[in-house]
Amino acid sequence: MYLLGVLVMVVGIALSIALHEVGHLLPAKRFGVKVTQYMVGFGPTLWSRRRGETEYGVKAVPLGGYVRMIGMFPPRAADGGRLRRSSSNPFHQMIEQARTDSLDEVEPGEEHRTFYRLPVWQRLVVMAGGPLMNLGIAAVLVTLLLTVHGVGTLTPTVSAVAECANTDVADDSCEGQDPSPALAAGLQAGDTIVAVDGTPVSTWSQTTYAIQNAGDTAAFTVERDGGRRTLEADLVLRERPLMTPDGQYQVDEDGELVLGQVGFLGASPTFVYEPQPITAVPGFVGDMFTGTARIVLTLPQRMVDVAQTVAGVEERDAEGPMSVVGVGRVAGEVADGALGDAGDSLTDRFWILLSLVASLNMALFVFNLIPLLPLDGGHIAGALWEGLKKAWHRVRGLPAPAPVDTAKALPVAYAVAVGLLGMTALLIYADIVTPIRLT
């Protein structure tokens, strides 16, 4: 099952990358740009086939992909399209070589099919097509997850009763100890708590909040065998996480749970998946986006934390970034049943794996919007800047400016690529020596 989970995730990642590139490929072809290659992966080519003017293939390292379009960089406007080769500046040479390679792909009569000649809005569509494809995948999977399978929730139906007052439900070693309040009150597995001290409850969080604020004694109205009965329980004080009236755990300024001496009953809820209405999808997708964006915006600090974890300075943050190795490990643990009740059946585990693929696609969407080359966001930023320049020239009655020369940003692009490789290597190493585990 572990290997099956890893395989499902590998296939999910590969399909996500492939569809991301399709998001670039289709609009590029629709707008008449010549596409010479569509590749999934990097490195040596494992398989390829040419259809028309485009070579489709799979490469050995499945950590990305690309669509090769002719004329990505415009010629130098000041030189009338002629290239200057005499500069000794290595950055200038790098830029000129990239521009030369880009223009060498343009055969006679194909000048009108270059990427840089597209109108700004069409370039935006082509470059945003990949990230938007990932957003669409995430939205579709989330819709299926919420409406078909449902969201995991704790219900006030009792699944187990603690034997004694000072242990959790899982510990039944109670020799010489008082029985738990739930056991002493006669609460049984299968009972559904519908009210606490006369206040109706429909969720376990509402039940927990009512118990914490009930005082020394609480009256529980429960449904059992089709009828209702009231049970009196003498609660005991235990240190537990404090709840808010809206059913959320209280946290301090550092995000840590706030603990306090509160009433303890000694009953465990039942974990179930409850399907949600389709109206819940936009809010859920929005929360995924903001959560992912928060991680991306704090990525430099999080990478420092990962480095400190590798050095043994601090523990690994379970909410921190992972490499594909870490994602594969988590997928394997999910398939192997590491989540307990939350992944009790094979169907539940399958849906959890799909939720991981949805999260991965949201991460691809957000990460690719970073306005730096070689990411899609860098090309989008260049097209937007050109659009602003053209609008300003029109307002002032000036001739249209030359296309924005994104080739000048190549030194930054190479620096970003090196940084991404270093970050990937660090995360892979961390996922091997100090992995994030579900248990």
In a domain, 47, yes or no: no
In a domain, 187, yes or no: yes
Mean pLDDT of 101-110: 82
Question: Which residues share a beta bridge with 272?
Answer: 153
What distance in Å separates the CA atoms of residue 26 and residue 171, rounded to the nearest whole number? 59
In a domain, 342, yes or no: no
CA 12 to chain centre: 13
> How much is the pTM?
0.82
> What is the predicted pLDDT for the residue at 82?
46
Strand, helix or coil for residue 4? helix
> What is the predicted pLDDT for the residue at 69?
93
Tell me how far apart the 2 most distant CA atoms of the chain are, in Å: 94
Element (H, E) at 132: helix 120-144
What distance in Å separates the CA atoms of residue 404 and residue 183, rounded to the nearest whole number? 74
| 300-327 confidence digits (pLDDT tens) | 999 999 999 988 888 888 788 888 888 8
In a domain, 49, yes or no: no
In a domain, 159, yes or no: yes
In a domain, 250, yes or no: yes
Residue 79, pLDDT > 70, answer no
> What is the predicted pLDDT for the residue at 173?
61
CATH code of residue 164: 2.30.42.10
Residue with tokens 């990478």: 303
In a domain, 220, yes or no: yes
The catalytic residue positions are 21
| 168-198 confidence digits (pLDDT tens) | 544 456 666 778 899 999 999 999 999 999 9
| 119-129 confidence digits (pLDDT tens) | 999 999 999 99
- For 369, other C-beta atoms within 10 Å of its C-beta total 19
> What is the predicted pLDDT for the residue at 363?
93
Q: What is the mean pLDDT of the chain?
A: 86
> What is the predicted pLDDT for the residue at 277?
93
Between CA 365 and CA 141, with CA 26 as vertex, the angle to 5 degrees is: 40
**How many domains does the chain fold into?**
1
In a domain, 412, yes or no: no
Q: Which domain range does residue 244 map to?
A: 152-274
DSSP string of 260-313, one letter each residue: EEEEE--EEEEEEEE---GGGHHHHHHHHHHHHHHHHHTHHHHHHHHHHHHTTS
DSSP string of 181-234, one letter each residue: HHHHHT--TT-EEEEETTEE--SHHHHHHHHHTS-SEEEEEEEETTEEEEEEEE
> What is the predicted pLDDT for the residue at 287?
93
Q: How confident is the model at residue 271 (pLDDT cuts 50, 70, 90)?
A: confident
Nearest to 265 by CA among 319, 216, 321, 334: 216
- Give the tokens for residue 80: 């009338």
Least confident of 68-82, 131-145, 394-408: 68-82
